Chains A and B, each alone.
Chain A
Amino acid sequence: MSVPMGPGDPTPSAPTRLPMTATDASGRTTLRLVRASTLTGMPVVTLGGDRALEVKDVVFDKTVGGITGFTLRKPGLLGGPQKRVLPIAGVLAVGGDAVMISSHDAFAAEDVLADVGDDVLGDRVVTDDGTELGTVVDVVASIQGGDGDIVGFEIEGSAALGDEGQHVYLPLPQAIAISGEAIVVPAAARDHASADFSAFGGAVDAYRKTLEA
């Protein structure tokens, strides 16, 4: 079996659309981490208080571990897809209840965000020493100041993490290797895995500090 497994083996890939299906209670921490799944259906609201559209999918770039923007839909059950997208640079803030933009000028033509039909949900997470930690069920991001940084994954843990099937939050370094087949993380990341989303912001901080040291 040929599996790209090393940090030295980054597989180039284009920005990728991550389909979201679930919407649940928002996870709020002081660092304002958001789970990507909670963004689907979130209203996009101008500072003028108008609901422009709502979030359909989160689009991110695997090569840089960042969110590049959102695809959009009209609110409601009959809301069809939209030709316009919302690049991350136009996002003022993502709160628990709305994505804030300054005005409709924040939207852009859909070709601004490359669309590649390969998503990270269900991908296996493997450490660089060859242990499979589980599969990705959600993406955790920090969105502020026009940037969206993917800081971790929610994974359904394998037996290697203790209770098989338990959901844990795994912090990520700034750069990781992602292919269509697997996501490789440093072995040390598992020491900072947390079952508690509210404490995850601290876990990401702690983990990334060890990388800077």
Chain B
Amino acid sequence: MDVKATDLEHRSVMDISAAVTVGRVERLVVDPASAQVAGIVLGKADGPETFLPWASIKAVGADAITIESRAALRAPSGPLEERGAAGDLEPIGKRVLTEAGDEIGVLGDLLIDGDSGRVLKLGVGERAIEGSSLLGVGDYAAVISRPA
């Protein structure tokens, strides 16, 4: 099932082995190299294990994201996850630049394949741009590979 990034905001993450909510979606971390959502940064989590790798998600449901166990959570590791957790790389609301250096708008949303975490589309204003054209998401801009 495809999901929008903005619809995932604040969605609860539930550990189904214990039937408890372990946190809520604070933001997504996108890995532009693979056009994938690398994982979810949780707010309101207990302790330093605030990062949920997308691969560890059991299901993205309408009301909750489920995981088999809270062992799926870990501390952010590496530059991408650490910067992502700090909010540097938040894609939503970021300006979108083409590789030619022209700003085409603001990234309003991402359409994500709920199973694989692949970024299918980038919503920029009224436009839907192929997720595969994403070159980078940094502290200043999301960069896409061609003028849309």
Contacts and interface: CB of A to CB of B under 8 A. Distances in A.
Interface of A: 43, 45-51, 92-100
B142 A49 contact: yes
Given A47-B143, A49-B141, A96 B101 contact: yes
Contact of B138 (A51, A93, A94, A96): A51
Nearest to A99: B101
B32 interface: yes
A97 B101 contact: yes
Contact of B140 (A45, A92, A95): A45
B136 A47 contact: yes
B101 A51 contact: no
B143 A93 contact: no
Contacts of A49: 32, 89, 94, 97, 135-143
29 contacts: A45-B138, A45-B143, A46-B138, A47-B99, A47-B143, A49-B32, A49-B136, A49-B138, A49-B140, A49-B141, A50-B139, A50-B140, A51-B139, A51-B141, A93-B101, A95-B97, A95-B98, A95-B101, A95-B103, A96-B101, A96-B102, A97-B101, A97-B102, A97-B103, A98-B103, A98-B141, A99-B101, A100-B97, A100-B100
B74 to A, nearest CB: 24
B138 A50 contact: yes
A86 B76 CA distance: 33
Interface in B53-108: 89, 94, 97-103
Name, among B136, B140, B142, the residue most crowded by chain A CB atoms within 10 Å (CB to CB). Answer: B140
A93 B100 contact: yes
Most buried by A among B100, B103, B135, B139: B100
Nearest to B138: A49
For B100, B101, B103, B139, the residue with the greatest tally of chain A CB atoms inside 10 Å of its CB is: B101
Nearest to A26: B102
Given A45-B138, A47-B136, A48-B138, A97 B32 contact: no
A99 B141 CA distance: 12
Given A95-B100, A95-B101, 16 more contacts: A43-B140, A46-B138, A46-B143, A47-B136, A48-B137, A48-B138, A49-B94, A50-B136, A92-B99, A95-B97, A95-B103, A97-B97, A98-B102, A99-B101, A100-B100, A100-B101
Which of A43, A48, A94, A97 is the most central at the interface, judged by chain B CB atoms within 10 Å of its CB?
A48
Contacts of A46: 136, 138, 143
A144 B115 CA distance: 41
Interface in B98-148: 98-103, 135-143
Nearest to B140: A51
A99 B89 CA distance: 20
Contacts of B89: 49
B143 A48 contact: yes
Contacts of A94: 101
